[in-house]
Amino acid sequence: MQALANNEAVEEEIDRREYRRKRRVRNQIIAYAVLVIFLAVLIVGGIIGVNKIMTGMRDKQQAEELQKQLEELSKEEEPAIVEAPVEAEEPVEEKDYLDEIVDACIAEMPLEDKVAGLFMITPEALTDTDTVIKAGDTTKEKLGEYAVGGLIYFSKNIKDADQLKEMLSNTRSWSKYPIFLGIDEEGGRVSRVAEKGLAENVGDMAEIGATGDAAKAQEAGTAIGGYLSEFGFNLDFAPVADVVAEGNTTIGARSFGSDPNLVASMAAATVEGIQSAGVSACLKHFPGLGDTTEDTHEGMANTEKTLDDFNAVDFLVYQAGIEAGTDFIMVSHLSAHNVTGDNTPASLSDKMITEILRGQLGYQGVVITDAMNMTAITDYYTADEAAIKALQAGADMILMPEDFKTAYQGVIDAVNDGTLTEDRINESLRRVYRIKYKDKVE
């Protein structure tokens, strides 16, 4: 029994040893398997990592090459990209901005103010007095009643420098809207301010024209514009653009001469000089009074000139003045039946103003009539008839009607009854206010 027990104990010990041996073998196999798997993971990871590094290096290299190509292309195209936009856009923005200001102003105006804004009259016509040398309560009251577009002054309105400055300053401050304060200051015998001793007279334009030097004309214009601006004027009815023919006495020394090319260069230079001082220039007297011996102050003035004649002489001057940027052109009461087909004064002629001055010559500034109290007008038309006809013909401003209140009310009535449209009034106001507000655009 003891032996049997010993044999069983031996067998059990053998079984235990065999079990432990198998367990060690199994653990070793598991360990080797784990090691193999770990090594495999390391190898695969290494391969993937190397591939990523290589791919990244290739991508970086390609990116660098692409960047170099883009930089080279950019350098080649740079001049075109920089230069192209600047030229096209800036003028459009400026024009649109000025139009916005002008349209906003006009939109707020009642019809009565719109119509009044197309008249330029004397301070006496405004205030119903004989001679105005100061702007007092009456001026203030009347400007509130009649919002006229401008006032024109003469020698009788000027006493001394302080009086003139105060009168113009008060008038400007009391006007409901921006107002033109104008004067005839041509130089020579038509110099309202200089003849009062308040400025040095630059002399007759004929003397300047005789020099043949346009720079002297510009200097004269700059001098005139400078002292007018100092006193408070912002519109000068100058320069004279007429080309005088031999024997002409109505214009005489007020003209630069009889050579249209010379007169063109002189007139354009004078416009530039006057307007460089912030004063609007006004070329006169379209289509040209240089060959007539009649004075429109004293009756109808006629010319036998054809359109070809005007094109060859007078219009050369106006074209030069337009190119110089003149703010105003004054249309005379000259009758040119070989151009218009009848004796209608140029100031009332659609052919002269709209078809020729606007259409043929391309003028887009303000067209103002010559004084409408001249007998070339008053002998044939009432004040209201003349004003209405001028606006229908394309004029923008009516200068010195024979009877302001009659002309003013006549235009209002013409709009109300459909003879004139309010759009036509607005069209002229836009031209007027583009001049009045042009300094608002930087």
**Strand segments (E) across 139-198:** 150-153, 180-183, 185-187, 190-191
24 or 258, which is more confident?
258
pLDDT value of residue 72: 55
The predicted pLDDT at position 2 comes to 46
Q: Is the pLDDT of residue 41 over 80?
A: no
Indicate if 247 and 127 belong to the same structural domain.
yes
**Read out DSSP for 263-309?**
HHHHHHHHHHHHHHTT-EEEEEEET--TT--S-TTSS--B----HHH
Does residue 23 sit in the same domain as residue 138? no
User: 74 and 125: one domain?
Assistant: no
Residue 271 has pLDDT above 70, yes or no: yes
Residue 257: per-residue pLDDT: 97
Query: Are 312 and 270 in a shared domain?
Result: yes
Catalytic residue numbers read: 297, 370
96 within domain boundaries = no
> At which residue do the structure tokens 């990871």 appear?
45
The pLDDT of residue 88 is above 80: no
Same-domain check for residues 121 and 5: no
Residues 314 and 411 reside in one and the same domain = yes
CA-CA distance, 290 to 274, in Å (whole number)? 23
Please indicate whether residue 290 or residue 32 has the higher confidence score (pLDDT).
290
Residue 66: pLDDT band with limits 50, 70, 90: very low
Q: Does residue 77 share a domain with residue 217?
A: no
Tokens of 135: 């702007």
- Structural domain ending residue among the three candidates 60, 89, 118: 89
Q: Are 241 and 205 in contact (CB under 8 A)?
A: no
Q: Say what the pLDDT of residue 27 is.
A: 63
Residue 249 within a domain: yes
Query: Is residue 10 in some structural domain?
Result: yes
Q: Which of 219-223, 241-245, 297-301, 401-405 has the lowest mean pLDDT?
A: 297-301
* Per-residue pLDDT at 439: 83
pLDDT, mean of residues 372-387: 97
Tokens at 56, concatenated: 């990244």
- 132: pLDDT strictly greater than 50: yes
For the ranges 56-60, 303-307, 371-375, the lowest mean pLDDT is seen at 56-60
Q: What is the CATH number of the domain that holds 169?
A: 3.20.20.300
Whole-number pLDDT of residue 44: 53
pLDDT of 1 reads 47
In a domain, 364, yes or no: yes
Task: Please check whether residue 95 lies inside any domain of the structure.
Answer: no
**How many domains are there within the chain?**
2
Higher-scoring residue by pLDDT: 209, 77: 209
pLDDT (tens digit, 9 = 90+) per residue, 325-360?
Answer: 999 999 999 999 999 999 999 999 999 999 999 999
- The answer on 225 and 174 residing in a single domain is yes
Q: Are both 185 and 323 inside the same structural domain?
A: yes
Mean pLDDT, the chain, whole residue set: 87
- Share of residues in the chain with pLDDT > 90 (%): 73
Pairing of strands 180-183, 150-153: parallel
Q: Give the count of alpha carbons within 13 A of 85, CB side only.
A: 4
> How high is the pLDDT of residue 48?
55
Determine what percent of the chain falls in helix, strand and coil, rounding each to the nearest 5: 60, 10, 30
User: What local confidence, expressed as pLDDT, does residue 5 receive?
Assistant: 44
Would you place residue 97 in the very low, low, confident or very high pLDDT band (cuts 50, 70, 90)?
confident
Predicted local confidence at residue 149, as pLDDT = 98
Residue 133 in this model has a pLDDT that exceeds 50: yes
Q: Are both 49 and 132 inside the same structural domain?
A: no
pLDDT of 59 higher than 70: no
Residues 373 and 263 placed together within one structural domain of the fold: yes
Report the alpha-carbon distance of residue 427 to residue 1 in Å, rounded: 142
Listed residue (441, 442, 440) closest to 178, CA to CA: 440
Higher pLDDT, 25 or 194: 194
CA torsion sign, 198 to 200 to 205 to 206? positive
Whether pLDDT at 426 is above 70: yes
Hey, what are 65's tokens?
């090459």
CA distance 422 to 442: 30
Q: Could you tell me if residue 275 is inside a domain?
A: yes
At 341, list the tokens.
Answer: 């087909």
- Which of 58, 89, 120 is at the close of a domain? 89
Q: Give the domain range for residue 83.
A: 1-89
User: Contact, 329 vs 284, CB < 8 A?
Assistant: yes
Lowest mean pLDDT among 26-40, 157-171, 300-314, 350-364: 26-40
Question: 70 and 114: one domain?
Answer: no
Cβ–Cβ under 8 Å, residues 187 and 238: yes
**Within a domain: residue 99?**
no
Of 89, 121, 155, the residue at which a domain comes to its end is 89
pLDDT value of position 77: 43
Q: Is 413 exposed, middle or buried (0-12, 13-18, 19+ CB in 10 A)?
A: middle
Q: Is residue 94 part of a domain?
A: no
